[in-house]
């Protein structure tokens, strides 16, 4: 068994993002719920979120984001040998989303599978894509995080429905072959805390999402800073080397608390949650895309990704900004 000749590492070649056109503000929610813009902004940081149309599917959004990433990469669809869709809100469990997305993007007959690691799904997908390339199982991989949480929330439950949004983000991952080129995707630090599995749940197909928000908040702010610093160390960096920190967008207060604890004052901290809400596995590629599009982060600069959520599962790695 031989890896692809000359592969010294992997990197994100290009990104793509898609959000539905419908913007739902806190004020709109407050018209039908016992909530307020003030409560949502101060406790979570969200001002508005995007909500998919009734007929818009997870696959539709994944195709839109994946198509943009593919176009930006300059590759042709046939160059993609593996498609991974991280999602926990597919309309169907069979067929999987990834095979439909691969077909609709015209990618020939790549390997295709869905991955459910909750809100950490994109980081898991990126890690497994990178490992597949290094092992020689695929040369270019399309990794997509796509979610339609709006179909899985109780729109009368203020504890949950104000938190979530819909969307998709994608990355084309490929090999680094030059002898001097450093790898653009660092080792993943991942894990799970199954003893807290009940804290975020959609237990069966008739259920809607529930979570023990304050316990998850405590877990995230207590346990994850060490995971983040470990991912920096695994990449041979210190937090003060980072140009950006792109954590899962679950709560702006969680994001700020972790950023403070890891100590990277110079890093730009992604705050996509303000206008996107919590889009689960889509949140990190959406936030990363927005940062790159803003021109505020230098290409090649190291950015720390940190996914966490249902499972409870987590995964972190340092990537080079494409």
Ligand X SMILES: CC(C)(COP(=O)(O)OP(=O)(O)OC[C@H]1O[C@@H](n2cnc3c(N)ncnc32)[C@H](O)[C@@H]1OP(=O)(O)O)[C@@H](O)C(=O)NCCC(=O)NCCS
Distance set, CA 152 to CA 177, 187, 209, 244, 285 (Å)? 43, 33, 6, 31, 21
Contact with ligand X (CB under 6 A) among 41, 43, 201, 261: 43
Residue 240 is among the residues annotated as catalytic for this protein? no
Could you say whether residue 305 binds ligand X (CB under 6 A)? no
Residue with tokens 């195709």: 63
Nearer to ligand X, 38 or 78 (CB): 38
Binding of residue 278 to ligand X (CB under 6 A): yes
SS3 for 179?
coil
Identify whether 248 is a catalytic site residue: yes
Residue 26 or residue 57: which is nearer to ligand X going by CB? 26
In this complex, which beta carbon is closest to ligand X, that of residue 297 or of residue 306? 306
Question: Quick one: which of 45, 67, 121, 309 contacts ligand X (CB under 6 A)?
Answer: 309
Active-site choice (96, 123, 248, 251) = 248
> How many CB atoms are located within 10 Å of the residue 178 CB?
9
Which residue number, 56 or 147, has a Cβ lying nearer to ligand X?
147
When binding is defined by CB under 6 A, the residue of 51, 142, 146, 162 that contacts ligand X is 162
From the list 106-114, 128-136, 182-190, 208-216, the region that binds ligand X by CB under 6 A is 208-216
Q: Which stretch binds ligand X (CB under 6 A): 1-9, 32-40, 100-108, 266-274?
A: 32-40
State both tokens at 19: 């959000």
24 binds ligand X (CB under 6 A): no
Q: What angle do CA 153, 158, 160 make, to 5 degrees?
A: 40
Q: Report the distance separating Cα 113 and Cα 90, nearest Å.
A: 12
Q: Figure out which of the listed residues 58, 146, 254, 281 binds ligand X, where binding follows CB under 6 A.
A: 254
Binding segment toward ligand X, per CB under 6 A, in 33-41, 89-97, 267-275, 290-298:
33-41
**Residue partners of 270: CB distance under 8 A and separation at least 6:** 244, 245, 246, 247, 249, 255, 287, 288, 290, 291
Q: By the 8 A CB rule, do 171 and 14 touch?
A: yes
Tabulate helix, strand, coil % of the chain (nearest 5).
40, 25, 35
Min CB(6)–ligand X separation in Å = 39
Among this protein's residues, is 27 annotated catalytic?
A: no
Cα gap 15→148, rounded to integer Å: 20
Judged by the rule CB under 6 A, the positions of this chain that interact with ligand X are 35, 39-40, 43-44, 119, 158-159, 162, 200, 211, 213-214, 216-217, 220, 250-251, 254, 278, 309
Q: Which residues are catalytic?
A: 119, 248, 278
């Amino acid at each position: 068994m031989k890896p692809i000749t000359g592969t010294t590492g992997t990197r994100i070649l290009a990104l793509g993002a898609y959000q539905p056109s419908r913007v739902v503000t806190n004020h709109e929610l407050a018209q039908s719920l016992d909530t307020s813009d003030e409560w949502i902004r101060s406790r979570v940081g969200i001002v508005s979120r995007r909500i998919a149309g009734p007929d818009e599917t997870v696959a539709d959004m994944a195709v839109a984001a994946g198509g943009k990433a593919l176009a930006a990469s300059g590759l042709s669809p046939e160059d993609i040998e593996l498609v991974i869709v991280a999602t926990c809100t597919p309309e169907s469990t069979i067929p999987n989303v990834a095979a439909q997305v691969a077909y609709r993007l015209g990618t020939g007959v790549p390997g295709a599978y869905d991955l459910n690691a909750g809100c950490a799904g994109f980081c898991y997908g990126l890690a497994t894509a990178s490992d597949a390339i290094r092992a020689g199982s695929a040369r270019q991989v399309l990794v997509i995080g796509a979610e339609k949480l709006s179909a899985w929330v109780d729109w009368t439950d203020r504890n949950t429905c104000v938190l979530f949004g819909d969307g998709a983000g994608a990355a084309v991952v490929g090999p680094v072959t030059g002898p001097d080129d450093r790898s653009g995707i660092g080792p993943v630090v991942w894990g799970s805390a199954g003893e807290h599995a009940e804290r975020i749940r959609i237990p069966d197909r008739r259920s809607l999402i529930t979570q023990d928000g304050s316990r998850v908040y405590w877990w995230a702010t207590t346990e994850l800073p060490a995971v983040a610093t470990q991912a920096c160390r695994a990449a041979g960096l210190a937090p003060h080397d980072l140009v950006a920190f792109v954590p899962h967008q679950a709560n702006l207060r969680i994001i700020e608390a972790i950023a403070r604890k890891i100590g990277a004052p110079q890093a730009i901290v992604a705050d996509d949650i303000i206008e996107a809400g919590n889009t689960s596995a889509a949140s990190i590629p959406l936030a990363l895309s927005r940062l790159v599009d803003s021109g505020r982060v230098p290409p090649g600069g190291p950015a720390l990704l940190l996914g966490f959520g249902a499972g409870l599962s987590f995964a972190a790695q340092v990537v080079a900004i494409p």
